[in-house]
A and B are shown apart, each in its own frame.
Chain A
Amino acid sequence: MATLTTVRPPAGELPNRPKRRRRRERPGIKGLRRSLQRHWTLYLLMVVPLIWFAVFKYIPMSNAVLAFKNFNVTKGIWGSPWIGWQNFELFFHNPVFWTLVKNTFVLSVYTVAASFPIAIILALALNEIRTGLFKQTVQLVTYAPYFISTVVVVSMTILVLSPRLGIVNEGLGFFGVPAVDFLGNPDYFRHIYVWSDVWQTTGYSAVIYLAALSGIDPALHESAKIDGATRLQRIRHVDLPGIMPTAVIILVLAVGNIMAIGFEKAFLFQNPLNLSQSEIIATYVYKTGLLNADFSLATAVGLFNSVINLVLLLMVNMIAKRITGNGLWS
């Protein structure tokens, strides 16, 4: 198991690689033919996974043309008649359109805004204290919820907040506050969603920042200390700049995925009472497509979401690269 600790990030192409090796890697058809001859077993190995990618990733992408068709089961995807942008128009003019976009967007932004700083705070705090039982306990316990399934987390939240049994209402009752039906009130939905998410993922996210913190040169801390910097000042001027690149990447990914917020949890928290805030694009796609069997419309809505998401990701990445020099693709 020790070998894992010796892993270093790849240092790009090694500078002093012998020339002999570089010559072997000849590009173009000729090189490919030679490579195929030499390594045909390796190419063979890739065949099954590549077929898998083609079937389960690329065919669905081409199937997305369904968005521009009026799907007819007997005629199949390619035989169904083209109807242009009709499905999109139908969706854009649907009164639920803005509600869906708003719910998705607000839920996502709220999640990022809450979990991003909290994970950093936890990591910074853990980094301040010395290694010992307390530190290990905190890490182990806060990390644990990440391994619990969404179904269980949602069930736990529902149980804890339940008006009849829940411990939260028990506590409120102790202070004379009447029981609140948290899940039945749409106004609470977002808070419940976001804070249960924070509860589940903070420990996990902190691990990434902790690794970045441990990579900071101790000499920086030493010299800051000699200059009389307080702990807070060292966090501000040594730790924070040190984890900046990591934080940027994580934020880029998070913001880029804003419209791709997961179906799983929102769907589980949904009930007829909180639908006005808990219906997001992903759950709407599921209901339109699989429950109402309107495949074309659901595909159009899904495609709309995918495209927005792709554009967002590329945009955020570009901005991040411009500002900090760190992007997803170096």
Chain B
Amino acid sequence: MTAQVEVRTVPSKRDERRAARARRIREPRTDRIFLFCVYLLLAVFLLVVMLPLLYIVASSFSSPAAVSSGRVLFWPVEFSLRGYHAVFQNPQVVQGYLNSLFYTVVGTIVSVTMTIAIAYPMSRRTLVGRNVVMTLILFTMLFTGGLIPTYLVVQSAGLLDTRWALIIPQAIGVWQVIIARTYFRTAIPDELVEAAELDGCGDLRFLWSVVIPLAKPMIAVVALMYAIMQWNSYFDALIYLKNPDLFPLQLVLRNILILNTTGGGAVDASVVIQRQQLADLLKYSLIVVASVPVLLIYPFVARYFTKGILIGAVKG
């Protein structure tokens, strides 16, 4: 289908090219113009997404003075690492980083365990009552109690202002349960269950030594979804935590990056002292530091992530 395009773009000898073109259905001239427009459009998409990122990264590696005077475009000006130096000297940020690591690791383990524990039994066709359970779970996607009623539950569970407040109330995602269940249903053949039963293998042992090894790719996807969600969230911390020592990185970021900048009404270019310059620079470096862990692993997991979305998209 796309073969004729290849022929034109791969530089080869002219007659070969001509001969090859003659053998194929000729592409209308409008198509070539159209294809050019498509490439142009994609280039625009690429630039629009990339330039802001480049700008932030470039700024983060520039000198405080260059950032504050707005001389940085898409390449570092007066290369310096002072922004990063400042980031790692900020005790709040370091504490937040460690906290976020804790929440992400522990939260992901808890979430994945709970998700498998509910999704696997519901994938077994011989289990009576699984449809009732599934309906109850799906219903929570349609209707929720709301912010305050949930807050009151967390409060009466004694979780307020503890680390568990960020882990337990969000432990299970319905979406992830659907993904896991669909995967178990389609990737684990019924014959395998029967064979295991004949051999006297109990359900739990079967889950542990057959299902989980077979479902590793799906578990990886679900774990990554949970991990990224946990790493990126700030809202639960905002409502459930008061103690700054427990704040995850995203909440620390919000306090430094956003609370600082809001309400900046007038264009004020008056007194630009050095501390102000460093504070400006710090923001750019912070953004990079906070996003790097996720963006580093993302290219490697994107493919599996996509498949995870698609499994979940199947009506179950």
Contact = CB atoms under 8 A, between A and B. Distances in A.
Given A39-B121, A55-B153, A152 B290 contact: yes
A202 B42 CA distance: 12
A226 B28 CA distance: 12
A290 B239 CA distance: 8
B20 interface: no
Interface of A: 1, 3-10, 21, 24-27, 31-32, 34-36, 38-39, 41-43, 45-46, 48-50, 52-53, 55-64, 66, 77, 121-122, 125-126, 128-130, 134-135, 137-138, 140-145, 147-152, 154-156, 158-160, 162-167, 170, 179, 181, 183-184, 199, 202-203, 207-208, 211, 218, 221-222, 225-226, 228, 230-232, 246, 249, 263-264, 268, 270-273, 282, 285-286, 289-290, 295, 298-299, 302-303, 305-306, 310, 313, 328-330
* Size category of the binding interface on chain B: 35 or more
B169 interface: yes
B39 A302 contact: no
Nearest to A173: B70
Select the residue from B250, B287, B290, B309 with max chain A CB neighbours within 10 A.
B287
A4 B217 contact: yes
A170 B68 CA distance: 12
Given A4-B218, A179-B267, A130 B6 contact: yes
Contacts of A295: 148, 152
Contacts of B28: 228, 230
Contacts of B157: 55
A203 to B, nearest CB: 7
A61 B49 contact: no
B151 to A, nearest CB: 7
Contacts of A5: 307
B262 interface: yes
10 contacts: A4-B221, A10-B182, A45-B120, A46-B121, A53-B140, A130-B9, A135-B42, A152-B250, A159-B283, A225-B1
A15 B315 CA distance: 18
B59 to A, nearest CB: 8
A281 to B, nearest CB: 11
A205 to B, nearest CB: 10
B128 A26 contact: yes
A310 B262 contact: no
A232 B34 contact: yes
Given A211-B306, A306-B144, A42 B203 contact: yes
Interface in B187-245: 187, 190, 202-204, 207, 214, 216-218, 221, 228, 231-235, 239
Contact of B49 (A199, A222, A306): A199
Main DSSP-derived SS at the A contact region = helix
Contact of B250 (A41, A43, A149): A149
B39 to A, nearest CB: 7
Nearest to B71: A170
A134 B40 CA distance: 12
B234 A150 contact: yes
A264 B265 CA distance: 23
B46 A156 contact: no
Nearest 10 A/B pairs, CB to CB: A60-B145, A302-B146, A63-B149, A149-B232, A49-B118, A271-B262, A35-B128, A60-B149, A155-B257, A4-B217
B65 to A, nearest CB: 12
A122 B143 CA distance: 33
B45 A142 contact: yes
A134 B149 contact: no
B295 interface: yes
B102 interface: no
A183 B203 contact: no
Interface in B237-291: 239, 250-251, 253-254, 257-258, 261-269, 280, 283-284, 286-287, 290-291
A151 B250 contact: yes
Nearest to B138: A329
